[in-house]
A and B are shown apart, each in its own frame.
Chain A
């Protein structure tokens, strides 16, 4: 056995090292504030953020030329391409922002004893996503998927004394397992036809398939349904709103971006590799077409009526997932670039919103739309940053959101889905309406009891700086898209 193939797994290995260091460090670090004063930030939080930052930066440096081409390890179980490094780095940045904004919440008396657990569990789900992204085999994929979703239930129920949090955790684990079962059944059907679980081999066998086609389509449908749960596409989205509302705000942010984004990317790579056959690809394109139309439209209509901002962001996230999957249509290289870029831009904007929701909730306990009335009067800077992030989510230039939407639509248009693009575009106007409702609440509406003026903690500030830098610069500076594009690959 050639041990050098472990080098291709350097992202996983270094993340595992980070997890172990945090695990050990957590044992020796004091949980209680010194001198009885409430601590600004905990040492374990600083350790986690710094280590994750080092890990992110280290993995962006290509250590040899081979990294640019596709590499496999363990007989094809594990695949590595440069694009995957990019996606993993995007997830890293998202997780880092989540860690930064989690700090204030973890300092509360009821959480202080278990803050190490938060970091470790979160990083384990990231590790699962890594394996899912880099899998070349359905078993590897499934292990990654489970590793990425089971610990999430623990995170969602982190505020376990709170009834909603515990309930959300239970809902999530039940539905996640149900969707995994569906997905597994689909995979078993595919295995029944092809006799293999390697994506590449499945793709080769399914090409030009004439008998058993129906069975393959059924397997494909179940696979997409299972992934639809993870990405929360309509009609598999029913868990989303309740879970997002019940989970701690920090975890909601993590769910809506990192976990969703990785699943969308994996959906694309697996469809492109295992189901590239013309008949099958036309099938999944039709399926995705309707999933996208339903996700974007229905989620938009529901989002308008939400009063609780976490529920609101849940529906916003469902409709954003629709746009994300729009890039999968046709399986083109342009689409892949657009997807990863969209993921990056959506991540910074969405986490920016969640960072503000979180800090306001920590300071005042308020989370409803009406509570944000008059925020501009008391906390003008926060309201301004929130506006930037919301504009980016709605796709308003010069913020990055407009660029990412433009590129996603362009990719889908180029793949031949003009009318889908038109439907999605009309939906952006609806989404603009509900994003503007928050802006209206903050700037225009008057309130008798607005959120009092407060100063955010240093960690939230750093998180916001990262997010706003992304929102403002990722679009105008074209480098990000150009760089991602050099690694993109399409179906043919």
Chain B
């Protein structure tokens, strides 16, 4: 049994435990125990990884592989590099805090919640395309019931829209996986093996890459909230229960960016270089459009959901730049956005649980009524707009510096356009904070509300701690991620671009 499989085994044991226990305290005990083990496992893995990385420069570490469906070369293969370790750490933190945020939920809710986290962890440890795809879908479907049953607002519509759009994306993705598998000779599903099958030319013919790269990228891009496939995200996030919003925006949307980078771009480098410009324009639109949309929303969750579209756009924007600095920045942005958004959604959930409204026009002066939540909200807002000292600054700075390294007009123009989103983010965050938190409390129903309970404070403080840690000491994370990004970026840029495919550079 490989160490990495713990990340799948623990959620499965948690499912079993949840099934067996009775009573709210039993459920809580199982969830807290399980998510603590996951968090510890992720921390231990990080330490082990850093030690091993110092002496071993193989692309994937701690690899293990078991035959699963032999005739089709499908294996259960696991392994991690710097990127996946960072993602596992993020997932563990979000699942851990999500447990505390959804303290009062019932057993069925936690069953689906745990299944969702099993899918997420499984996705990040696998390096076999089939295994990866399976975990990807495992992570998607619980969303339907989590939103549909425990959500708020127009939950049925949102749940169905989210599920169908994401499953539509995964339909393209499945086709893309077949294209990669058979394009590369149909011998292996292992990502690293396919990428290294090069002898001069790439194993997958260029024409084949040109067909399947856009499909695969768009398939993952749906989950990464790529414009124009992002429309599920605001509705879904707004309707989802708090912890599900956290997990979904915090971790699940990262599956999209991770998959785009690891499968679509890494395995089809020529396709990525020739056709990447189309997606680069789309992500540019995502970044700016998401930020502008957030400005005009009146629902707290919608504001944050559109903000997510903008920030997740930056992730894809960074990886499409295909250079070391920008791609590293993109992965840090995944971490940073995951933590910040999770914090935001957690706080919104707590505020909504008290005020029973998320409409910013009906709220004001909450700072006096619930000071703890309000202060944390301000912190989250500042982290979101990229204040130095918080993780958002590190991530965005790195992405834009990396993007500006491209000397041509096309990339520079897009970079400048992307930078404007920082200003727009500041506009909607500051406006929101001023309106909702400061001033006098006008709504008399809100005067007697209480501040956060202990488990809520605990979750929030954990998240703030992570954000501040990432913002003040980013170097070790960025170095770790850099070791994962470097081989992929080098691999992609080692293939020449076919200039006739790209009108811009």
- Where the two chains meet, the residues of A that have a C-beta atom closer than 8 Å to any C-beta of B are 334, 337, 391, 396-398, 402-403, 406-407, 409-410, 413-414, 418, 421-422, 425-426, 428-429, 432-433, 436, 439-440, 443-444, 478, 481-482, 485
B228: shortest Cβ distance to chain A, in Å?
Answer: 17
In the assembled complex, B74 has its CB within 8 A of some CB on chain A: yes
B283: shortest Cβ distance to chain A, in Å?
Answer: 24
- Give the residues from 159 to 210 in chain B that come closer than 8 angstroms, CB to CB, to chain A: 160, 163-164, 167-168, 171-172, 174-175, 178-179, 181-182, 186
B148, B149, B167: the one within 8 Å of A432 (CB):
B167
Interface size class of B (residues with CB under 8 A): 20 to 34
Contact status B72-A410, CB under 8 Å: yes
A402, A429, A443, A481: the one within 8 Å of B145 (CB):
A443
Contact status B71-A396, CB under 8 Å: no
B137, B167, B174: the one within 8 Å of A409 (CB):
B174
- Where the two chains meet, the residues of B that have a C-beta atom closer than 8 Å to any C-beta of A are 67-72, 74, 130, 133-135, 137-138, 141, 144-145, 148-149, 155-156, 160, 163-164, 167-168, 171-172, 174-175, 178-179, 181-182, 186
B69, B133, B148, B171: the one within 8 Å of A444 (CB):
B148
Q: Answer whether A409 and B71 are a contact pair too, CB < 8 Å, given A396-B137, A429-B171.
A: no
Chain A residues with Cβ below 8 Å from B141 are 391, 396
A440, B178: Cα distance in complex, Å:
32
Contact status B174-A481, CB under 8 Å: no
A334, A403, A414, A436: the one within 8 Å of B160 (CB):
A436
Chain A residues with Cβ below 8 Å from B164 are 429, 432-433
B118: shortest Cβ distance to chain A, in Å?
Answer: 9
Most chain A beta-carbon neighbours within 10 Å: one of B72, B133, B135, B155: B72
Contact status B138-A406, CB under 8 Å: no
A419: shortest Cβ distance to chain B, in Å?
Answer: 9
Contact status A425-B171, CB under 8 Å: yes
B292: shortest Cβ distance to chain A, in Å?
Answer: 30
A429, B164: Cα distance in complex, Å:
6
A422, B177: Cα distance in complex, Å:
12
Residue contacts A-B, CB under 8 angstroms, 11 given: A403-B69, A406-B174, A409-B175, A413-B178, A418-B178, A418-B179, A425-B174, A429-B167, A433-B164, A444-B155, A478-B74
Contact status A398-B175, CB under 8 Å: no
A391, B72: Cα distance in complex, Å:
24
5 closest A-B pairs by beta carbon, nearest first, are A425-B171, A413-B178, A485-B71, A478-B69, A397-B134
Contact status B72-A407, CB under 8 Å: yes
A471, B359: Cα distance in complex, Å:
44
A418, B215: Cα distance in complex, Å:
13
Contact status A433-B160, CB under 8 Å: yes
Contact status A409-B74, CB under 8 Å: no
Contact status A414-B186, CB under 8 Å: yes
A433, B164: Cα distance in complex, Å:
7
In the complex, the chain B residue whose C-beta lies closest to that of A444 is B148
The B interface, classified by DSSP as helix, strand, loop or mixed, is helix
A334, B138: Cα distance in complex, Å:
26
Contact status A436-B171, CB under 8 Å: no
B68, B137, B144, B178: the one within 8 Å of A421 (CB):
B178
Contact status B138-A440, CB under 8 Å: no
Q: Answer whether A428 and B171 are a contact pair too, CB < 8 Å, given A397-B137, A413-B178, A443-B148.
A: yes
Chain A residues with Cβ below 8 Å from B130 are 406
Chain B residues with Cβ below 8 Å from A443 are 145, 148-149
A421, B178: Cα distance in complex, Å:
10
A398, B134: Cα distance in complex, Å:
7
A157, B336: Cα distance in complex, Å:
65
Contact status B163-A410, CB under 8 Å: no
In the complex, the chain A residue whose C-beta lies closest to that of B151 is A444
Contact status A478-B68, CB under 8 Å: yes
Contact status B186-A481, CB under 8 Å: no
Contact status B71-A482, CB under 8 Å: yes
Chain A residues with Cβ below 8 Å from B155 are 444
Contact status A398-B174, CB under 8 Å: no
Chain B residues with Cβ below 8 Å from A439 are 144-145
In the complex, the chain B residue whose C-beta lies closest to that of A391 is B141
A214, B20: Cα distance in complex, Å:
66
Contact status B175-A337, CB under 8 Å: no
A161: shortest Cβ distance to chain B, in Å?
Answer: 40
Chain B residues with Cβ below 8 Å from A396 are 137, 141
Chain A residues with Cβ below 8 Å from B135 are 397
Chain B residues with Cβ below 8 Å from A425 are 171-172, 174-175
A443, B68: Cα distance in complex, Å:
34
A440, B74: Cα distance in complex, Å:
34
A398, B116: Cα distance in complex, Å:
11
Contact status A478-B70, CB under 8 Å: yes
A413, B179: Cα distance in complex, Å:
8
Chain B residues with Cβ below 8 Å from A418 are 175, 178-179
A261, B346: Cα distance in complex, Å:
50
A403, B181: Cα distance in complex, Å:
16
A265, B493: Cα distance in complex, Å:
48
B163, B172, B186: the one within 8 Å of A436 (CB):
B163
A478, B68: Cα distance in complex, Å:
6
Chain B residues with Cβ below 8 Å from A421 are 175, 178
In the complex, the chain A residue whose C-beta lies closest to that of B76 is A478
A482, B135: Cα distance in complex, Å:
21
Chain B residues with Cβ below 8 Å from A428 are 167, 171
Chain A residues with Cβ below 8 Å from B134 are 397-398, 402
Contact status B71-A334, CB under 8 Å: yes
Contact status B70-A482, CB under 8 Å: yes
Q: Answer whether A440 and B171 are a contact pair too, CB < 8 Å, given A337-B71, A410-B178.
A: no
A406, B174: Cα distance in complex, Å:
8
Most chain B beta-carbon neighbours within 10 Å: one of A337, A396, A421, A443: A396
